[in-house]
Structure 1
Amino acid sequence: MTDAIDATLAAALWPTRRSLRFARDAALAFGGALALVVSAKIQVPFTPVPMTLQTLVVLALGAAYGSRLAAATVGLYLLEGLLGLPVFAGALAGPAYMVGPTGGFLAGFLVAAALVGALAERGWHRSWALLLAAMALGHVAIFALGFAWLAVLIGPGHAFAYGVAPFVLATIVKTLLACALVGAAWSALDRAPRL
């Protein structure tokens, strides 16, 4: 019987013995954290929350890695930022940045990665409709935490006006793109000849 971890896209693309799983997962976590750094730097400047490609990467990591590895990957990324490495959208990092306007969105990344990963482990990645639903739920988690924290800082009306409304169209596009990327990877894997 295949366990949930072995049912992920990452495990299917990079199968390994159980004894080597930690090394594979560590390499994937560092690679995923690097993808998050790059996606943070691809941005449309916006105040108080920049528009980046990070949510696309978070959703794709969740769907490809599964809940534990995706959460660990996002956790590694957040730890790098907490320690002051310039991994976020702006030039700043550290504890003060993480409790600023984007703090709720950063926490939402962790929840969304785990949520999308858990749904993917339950087979939601094998249906385009369910994969799209999982990724939409991931984006809802990101926005719920992001809005809630931003509302504490600047009030609910401003939080919605500056932290939610401007991102709706981009969110739809990023959700569809992440779904298409992960779905296409599974389709290609399913069509690949078995060795």
Structure 2
Amino acid sequence: MSIGATTLPSSPTLVGLLWPTRNEAGLAALRAIVLMAVGSALLTISAKVQVPLPFVPMTMQTLVVLLIGATYGWRLGGATVALYLLQGALGMPVFANTPPMIAGPAYFAGPTGGFLFGFLAAALVMGFMAERGWDRSLLRVALMMTIGHAVILFAGFCWLSVLLPVAKAWSVGIVPFIAATFVKTALAVALMQAAWSITRRGGKSA
């Protein structure tokens, strides 16, 4: 008697329900390209909506990252954030405070580098949890978004601790963002709950 590997159940994400994947390879590729382009554009726009701070500007990117991961799933969400990071690495001015002359790989060595890689990790975590149904109940989605923000802040703090003394990294990389993190977490939860409520109503009336 052989025991096979246990596979965790996967639930459709919000985008997966609204725009299901087709069997045709061409249509599936087109879907992925469109969604990745839209997601990376939203990340770029959210990077420019910011409150200037001495080391790390406060932007709406963390909110958008978490929503992309939660609605796209871990594969497509991770690929979308990876595309965004690649655009910045290639010199496109997609990051916060990046005119073309200072965009590029060197930007990742700056104080925001850890947060950027935290975006990718958080999108993967959010997508994985969403595919297990964590995006559908109020308490679970609140915990899910809290974990996502914690992943981003932890990654950012770790890299800042390399560049700055630990106490300084904490004071400039974590403390100024605590209040905004609570607000953006609550907003992400509200948006996810509203989106699922509309989707469920639409499904019942169809």
TM-score by length of 1: 0.95
Matches of 2:178 and 2:114 in 1, distance apart?
A: 17
- Structure 2 residue 156 is matched with structure 1 residue 156: no
Of 12, 15, 19 in structure 1, the residue corresponding to residue 20 of structure 2 is 15
Larger radius of gyration: 2
Give 2:175's aligned residue. Answer: 165
Counterparts of 1:1-195 in structure 2 under 5 Å? 4=10, 7-19=12-24, 20-91=27-98, 92-192=102-202, 193-195=204-206
SS in 1 for 2:135: helix
Matches of 1:28 and 1:179 in 2, distance apart?
A: 21
Runs of at least 4 residues of structure 1 off by over 6 A?
none
SS in 2 for 1:172: helix
CA contact (8 A) 1:60 1:179 kept: no
Deviates more, 1:174-183 or 1:48-57: 174-183
Matches of 2:87 and 2:78 in 1, distance apart?
A: 14
| Aligned residues with identical type, % of pairs | 53
Uncovered stretches (5+) of structure 1, i.e. residues with no partner: none
What's the CA shift for 1:18?
A: 2.2
More helix by share: 1
What's the CA shift for 1:110?
A: 0.2
Matches of 1:141 and 1:28 in 2, distance apart?
A: 24
What's the CA shift for 1:103?
A: 0.3
Matches of 2:21 and 2:130 in 1, distance apart?
A: 20
How many pairs does the alignment contain? Answer: 192
SS in 2 for 1:7: coil
| 1:73 partner letter | T
Matches of 2:28 and 2:144 in 1, distance apart?
A: 26
Per-residue CA deviations over 1:96-126 (Å, capped at 9, x if unaligned) read: 1111100000000000000011000000011
Per-residue CA deviations over 1:3-52 (Å, capped at 9, x if unaligned) read: 73x70111111124222222111110110000000000000011210000
Uncovered stretches (5+) of structure 2, i.e. residues with no partner: 1-8
TM-score by length of 2: 0.90
Deviates more, 1:64-73 or 1:9-18: 9-18
RMSD: 1.2
